[in-house]
Structure 1
């Protein structure tokens, strides 16, 4: 096994958002995205599918707006297992919200929208992996073409909840520097580059089209601040993989904190990244 990169099975775990209107945002992720409220209080909601938490919402009515110069979240991408599930998501969006965009990315079909606090949301389904186009160097090609919404709509079954196979397939960040992003997420943590686009970069583990995207389209210059993304999680398959990434972080001189669940490190834009081993392998 190459100790310098994330191994097979690495994926994105939970995402946490700081929101000013907890009830309204919770309702959005329940009724539009289709998640189930697994835990709830006056200050926090945890939503997911089946018994798996995917999204943590921390309510903070006094949280300042994210400044237009601050790095942070571009979107959280919820991956559903089929076109039928994507069709059901489209129906929920049309019934309860507003669709912001839709694209065929050659590797996936994606719907885009924005939550009540201005956080970007993607709901998508992957095409079969053997159908993904690749460059000569083996990296995955990601494009953008109009999505056939009529075909997606025709596949809908009427389900009001996302299926239990739903997960967070990737997270997309707005960063201040793509060079610093690549230095941290590739050279330090161990992701591998898949696709570069104008002012954007997409990295992954084990040949996935991307687990993390980053862009500088809006010319963010400052560290993350205000409401929006609080932290996100990278899940590695076992304790050996966790030890390997800790060694890489320390070798690169980055500060890492050990917790009961795993590791916590800040990226170049002060975005908190939590890394833990899959609990099923402990």
Structure 2
């Protein structure tokens, strides 16, 4: 790992962007089921979020083929809600308008899992208090998986029709072709911390969060990312000076960096685009 991480400890996940076939259907899902608000809408692109904070960009790309079964890419986008009451309300929306694929207590969080109309994974979760997170002897966070009591979660619902203020993209989970290559890039080069290592999976963080990024090889992906699904995801840093420092450190590490309207972008070993911008 780098002595001074390329990605600073104060960084967080910003927006996620998806290439989609049916823009209307996908807007309906992320509005009515996940609970996001449509902030902007044009013929081929929509931005959804909470209050003034954009969280998800949907780009219609009818001429792009579906993601292949062997291709790396998105495992799920994880929307973090600020309370168990909000998680209960999300469960009610899912049960009323969609279906739950799974639900887990991860010791650090409680999570609901579902799949959007075009096969992209979605997690909606809430964190347990930090002081309750189990930690290893070296201080890293230990993430586990046990069944979640859905009836208990539902009983805590505040009945809200949408995702409340404070909802964010808490983390992103990717499917990689090589866990070793992912570790070399995200940990050894970018400087993220391995918080938990599970069977064929890494859970990585900037700073002391339980994880901003998950990476797994559970489904044996063997080809670079492509097709519909994840277009890019965003890492947000605190200010322009920090962004300049990130760029310099990336270039010093021989990572190819290019400009985009709001910051810089680069690609991971599987061709997944990462955008970095300042708040």
Q: Quick check: TM above 0.5?
A: yes
Structure-2 change in CA distance of 1:164 and 1:229 (3 Å)? same
Corresponding position of 1:182 = 183
RMSD across aligned positions (CA)? 1.1
Q: Distance in 1 between matches of 2:194 and 2:241?
A: 23
Corresponding position of 1:236 = 237
Corresponding position of 2:223 = 222
1:77, 1:171 within 8 Å by CA — same for their partners in 2? yes
- How many aligned residue pairs are there? 277
Q: Distance in 2 between matches of 1:223 and 1:141?
A: 30
- Larger mean CA deviation between 249-258 and 194-203 belongs to 249-258
* 1:150 Cα deviation after fit: 1.2
Three-state SS of the structure 1 residue aligned to 2:249 is helix
Q: Where do 5+ consecutive residues of structure 1 fail to align?
A: none
* 1:260 Cα deviation after fit: 3.6
* 1:5 Cα deviation after fit: 4.9
**Does the alignment pair 1:276 with 2:277?**
yes
State TM-score, norm by structure 1.
0.96
Q: Distance in 1 between matches of 2:198 and 2:22?
A: 35
Q: Where do 5+ consecutive residues of structure 2 fail to align?
A: none
Three-state SS of the structure 2 residue aligned to 1:25 is helix
Corresponding position of 1:59 = 60
1:190, 1:245 within 8 Å by CA — same for their partners in 2? no
* 1:151 Cα deviation after fit: 1.2
1:6, 1:241 within 8 Å by CA — same for their partners in 2? no
* 1:258 Cα deviation after fit: 2.5
**Does the alignment pair 1:157 with 2:158?**
yes
Corresponding position of 1:98 = 99
Q: Distance in 2 between matches of 1:45 and 1:33?
A: 15
Three-state SS of the structure 1 residue aligned to 2:24 is helix
1:54-104: per-residue Cα shift (whole Å, max 9, x none)? 000001223211101100000000000000000000000000001000000
1:3, 1:244 within 8 Å by CA — same for their partners in 2? no
1:189, 1:245 within 8 Å by CA — same for their partners in 2? no
- Structure 1's consecutive aligned runs of 4 or more residues displaced over 3 angstroms after TM superposition are 5-8
Corresponding position of 1:25 = 26
5 Å-filtered alignment, 1:108-257, equals 108-257=109-258
Q: Distance in 1 between matches of 2:79 and 2:260?
A: 27
Corresponding position of 2:46 = 45
2:231, 2:272 within 8 Å by CA — same for their partners in 1? yes
2:105, 2:111 within 8 Å by CA — same for their partners in 1? yes
1:113, 1:120 within 8 Å by CA — same for their partners in 2? yes
Three-state SS of the structure 2 residue aligned to 1:45 is strand
Three-state SS of the structure 2 residue aligned to 1:231 is strand
